[in-house]
Structure 1
Amino acid sequence: VYHLRMPDPADGNGTGDIAPVSTLPWATPWRLILVGRGLGPIVESTLVTSLARPSIVEKTDWIRPGRVAWSWWSDQDSPQDHDKLKKFIDLAAEMKWEYTLIDANWTIMKHGTIDDLITYAKRRNVGVLLWYNSGGPHNIVSERPRGMMYFPSIRQQELKRLAEWGVKGVKVDFFQSDKQNIIGLYHEICRDAAEAKIMVNFHGCTIPRGWQRTYPHLMTMEAVRGEECYIFDAEYPDRAPAYNTILSFTRNAIGSMDHTPVAFTDNRYPHRTTYGHELALTVVFESGWLHFADSVESYRSLPRAVKDYLKEVPVAWDQTQFIAGYPGRDVVIARRKGDAWYVGGINGVATETTVHVPLSFLPAGKFKMVRITDGRSDREFRSDNETVTADQTVTIPMRPFGGFVLRFYHGWF
């Protein structure tokens, strides 16, 4: 028996009614249970978005998924420092990433202004995304800018201003409630952002509910304990390897997930995942904006094969295929963009394991396969390439808490 539970009265700083209300005629959203023969249909399903209302956006040429250089994880004070942020713009340009995110408190800027950064990013062909506090009375978080996304007239004016500046998107944070008033706020932000042609990322938010179909400029949502927890939670490193294998079958199965992965260096609480595990999250997880969490120095120091991979890996996919795995143990997923296929696999347990990847998802013909795995230690890479065909099976040993990526494309032979 499943029961629907109303929000807690204290949610949203005590604001908003617990019970929803509506005018007649009243139509409720879909409630669904995904059931399949095996785990593949769960991972591959698009049912959540398929049941949502059709898109309200007619022309979508301004909506562009992409990779994002993000400074906050490696340096929480960096969004207030023009010179530090400039380095992340340079990183994005070097890595051919489409965007950089300027996180909380960018309104308190030293060594320059936000206008200077936007101008510089335009010269380097890097799109700028800006962070906003969603509050409003529903949270007491003091990070700025605050109050710009809650009140309709102010929000509309602010989004118009961002469009005039050339800003590409916003990250709106700290919703802290699933009461009807806050669910309505999500929709209002998406509608106003569509009018201004500004893309959106929700953080500190509810789970995906298919809204990416209705609002295709909603690029991703958090609703997950991502790599920020290496800063806040001492227990997270021990839980993360198995937890990451669970997410493909649960949270990420219902919509894009802003996990902010692929951090190779340690934050306050050190990783137990290997370098190969972290790299594989580019494929194992799906997000319309993929925020790379680590520092400029970390990405610049990577081996050439890994940097080349990170310059090419897509974030918007044409096809997804579950290969193998079980929640809490391991997972291997293949995804296609155009003619190129990518495979990511991660090990969630503390013992070595071997996975077998049948290449039957490939079309006929010869493909160049680039393979990047863990090296001789948890914090080393190994890479090689070979020519393969669809009738082959690739066997890959994974280190404890390890991982790998494969890239297939037509190339020289």
Structure 2
Amino acid sequence: MNLLRKTWMMLVAVMISSCHTETLDIVSPDGDLKVTMEPAEENAYGEAAFSVDYKGGRILSQSQLGLETDTQKLVGNLKLKSVSAVKRVTDDYNMITGKRSHCVNEASERIYSFENEVGQTLEVTFRVYNDGLAFKYGINAVVDEENIIREHTTYTVPKGARRWMQQYDPGYEKFFPLSTDGKLTNRPEVDLWGYPALVEPQDSVFVLITEANIRRGHCGSLLYNGGQRDSYQVRLADKQSVGDGLWESPWRLLIIGDLSDVVESTLVTDVSDPSKVEDTEWINPGMVSWIYWAHNHGSKDYQIVKEYIDLATRMKWPYDLIDWEWDEMGNGGNLQDAVKYALEQGIKPLLWYNSSTSWLGPGPLYRLNKKEDREKEYKWLSDMGVAGIKVDFFTGDSVATMNYYMDLLEDAVKYKLMLNFHGATIPRGWQRTYPHLMSVEGVYGAEWYNNNSILTNRAAEHNATLPFTRNVVGPMDYTPGTFSDSQHPHITSHGHELALPVIFESALQHMPDRPSVYDNLPEAVKHLLSELPTAWDDTKLLAGYPGVEVVMARRKGDVWYIAGINGTNEPRTLRAPLAAISVSGKQMSLFKDGTDDRSFAIEENIPLSDEETGLEIKCLPRGGFVAVIR
């Protein structure tokens, strides 16, 4: 009798749970993505959690929700108090920079209100898009003193799932090695990971984990998997305090789908605050000549600075960056002379600054930290004719640093200065809110050929991983296009290097090599680099897999630029289907690997027709190509 009663009770509980869960689900507009909310009373672990299904298959299970403060414990045994009706949310906006000029996305939104044992409430807002999901926390805090937040969000990925994750580093300058157990092969003790993190929970289904819409008073976060290697808890990078009234977290993001869904997604900017800048005529993406890579201390020397201004003139690039130590410039001229010379050539100068918060080595120092000093410096730059600044050496993801980024951006609007952050955190949507944020380093880039020999043998695989990880979330100042060698050699081919300024998105694309190297490139290659856009109307991933290969198509106006790279040490044929691109009646110019890795094979004015189904390009080891269709 007891057994029958238990069986009957379990059956009723399952029926109620199934019915209840059905009402709690939230589904993407196209029906492919579903989030199932699991309150503590319906969860075997006794905690509020959610699971994610994609095209009918479970890809993430029992991912925990919750926040805790000094005065509120909103984690674990939370009961569901209420659920809002499903609301349709549409994001429709234009971008000056980035992978797409007109961004449109649509989501289903629900707000889940949870309550703890003493009646304190946690609201979780979920949006489910066709290309992923976003959620954020909201709490009402009434406190008389600092109240510290600790987040308990935990993403649980399937055991053995492939993942490409970067060991957490405040400058986000590490590799994204492939792992299946949540550990680094050479450093198994590492348990802190930075965004974005790419996971393949099922064959050909991917999840990119990141965050967006950091506002004033927020810190950034990272991922921790020290307890269980397949569970990644969100850890705040700093003491995050909340005062009286409503507090909201940044959006936690999971971009989901096949690799093209991930790479082409604009979810990071979709959920970020709209532009705060009304007049944007002064914000202009473009190519930049850059002195540092070949001449570490070159900005001290007026004559070398002039050489890079002249390079920009010959290459028809709009900008030249005068890097660190310009305040010590000599050998025939000073900074004012260099800026005047650039403007006379029709080149807009950009200047480097030390943020003066981390490494206090090269100068100028302490010119931007205080508002009154910053406004004075910005006015001086604007009056001289400087178009923008690169600010370097920040101190990670703390609240103070995030506020400092926003101080720099907001005060720059009045003086019409574009900004580029180096030694900095990754983009989290500010490229929409502050459209004069042109680029961010936050990547292990070509600059590292100057520092040690590690990049030489890993660059090809690394370059073929970045389009699926770091560059998905926003502009990436990798400084591509190194055709010669710096302090340490590169073994990627010329075709590979030429492909990188197309594959890597950055509104200011810094070209780092020596003037003599660009001067000696084939005329057709110089012409391509002289007209290459740095912001795009559309982006499509045509083929690829992390660390192996990538073929990317980007459109500006009615011209398509297709670029591919081989991330392996063996010859490889890259295939680019053209079904998504209208090519009939157009012509193609093709730049690919030559007979060796330091030469090109170039074909121009190749007619295309409706019968063209795709490209097949044979690449050298670590090779690549660029095709221009117009």
The answer to whether the superposition gives a TM-score over 0.5 is yes
1:133 maps onto 2:354 in alignment: yes
Match of 1:190 among 391, 398, 409: 409
Q: Aligned to 2:248, what secondary structure does the other structure show?
A: coil
1:178 maps onto 2:397 in alignment: yes
Note the C-alpha offset of 1:395. 1.4
**Structure-to-structure mapping, 1:10-409, within 5 angstroms:** 18-23=238-243, 24-36=245-257, 38-110=258-330, 111-135=332-356, 138-363=357-582, 365-385=584-604, 386-392=606-612, 393-409=614-630
Distance (whole Å) between structure 1 residues aligned to residue 435 and residue 324 of structure 2: 25
Specify the alignment match of 1:10 in structure 2. none
Distance (whole Å) between structure 2 residues aligned to residue 287 and residue 369 of structure 1: 24
User: Sequence identity, in percent?
Assistant: 43
Q: Deviation digits for residues 44-64 of structure 1, max 9, x if unmatched?
A: 001101111011100100000
Q: Aligned to 2:235, what secondary structure does the other structure show?
A: coil
Question: Relative to 1, partners in 2 of residues 1:390 and 1:268: Cα closer, same or farther, differing over 3 Å?
Answer: farther
Specify the alignment match of 2:195 in structure 1. none
Distance (whole Å) between structure 1 residues aligned to residue 583 and residue 242 of structure 2: 55
Distance (whole Å) between structure 2 residues aligned to residue 133 and residue 364 of structure 1: 47
| Paired residue total | 396
Specify the alignment match of 1:13 in structure 2. none
Question: Relative to 1, partners in 2 of residues 1:390 and 1:92: Cα closer, same or farther, differing over 3 Å?
Answer: farther
Distance (whole Å) between structure 1 residues aligned to residue 480 and residue 401 of structure 2: 27
Distance (whole Å) between structure 2 residues aligned to residue 189 and residue 396 of structure 1: 45
Q: Deviation digits for residues 174-207 of structure 1, max 9, x if unmatched?
A: 0022111001100110000112110000000001
Note the C-alpha offset of 1:390. 4.6
Distance (whole Å) between structure 2 residues aligned to residue 21 and residue 149 of structure 1: 26
Matched-pair contact (CA < 8 Å) for 1:362–1:389: no
Q: Any stretches of 5+ residues in structure 2 without a counterpart?
A: 1-154, 156-231
Matched-pair contact (CA < 8 Å) for 2:564–2:626: yes
Matched-pair contact (CA < 8 Å) for 1:359–1:390: no
Matched-pair contact (CA < 8 Å) for 1:359–1:391: no
Structure having the higher helix fraction is: 1
Q: Aligned to 1:181, what secondary structure does the other structure show?
A: helix
Distance (whole Å) between structure 1 residues aligned to residue 493 and residue 242 of structure 2: 50
Distance (whole Å) between structure 2 residues aligned to residue 223 and residue 161 of structure 1: 28
Structure having the higher strand fraction is: 2
Distance (whole Å) between structure 2 residues aligned to residue 186 and residue 29 of structure 1: 16
Distance (whole Å) between structure 2 residues aligned to residue 20 and residue 397 of structure 1: 52
Alpha-carbon RMSD across the aligned residues, in angstroms, is: 1.1
Matched-pair contact (CA < 8 Å) for 1:40–1:322: yes
Structure label with greater radius of gyration: 2
Matched-pair contact (CA < 8 Å) for 1:374–1:382: yes
With normalisation by structure 1, the TM-score equals: 0.94
Q: Aligned to 1:355, what secondary structure does the other structure show?
A: strand
Distance (whole Å) between structure 1 residues aligned to residue 616 and residue 513 of structure 2: 30
Which one-letter code corresponds to 2:252 in the other structure?
R
Bigger shift: 385-394 or 211-220? 385-394
Distance (whole Å) between structure 2 residues aligned to residue 356 and residue 139 of structure 1: 45
Specify the alignment match of 2:119 in structure 1. none
Distance (whole Å) between structure 2 residues aligned to residue 43 and residue 356 of structure 1: 18
Distance (whole Å) between structure 2 residues aligned to residue 272 and residue 352 of structure 1: 14
Bigger shift: 335-344 or 362-371? 362-371
Q: Give structure 1 regions of 4+ aligned residues with deviation exceeding 4 angstroms.
A: none
Q: Any stretches of 5+ residues in structure 1 without a counterpart?
A: 8-17
With normalisation by structure 2, the TM-score equals: 0.62
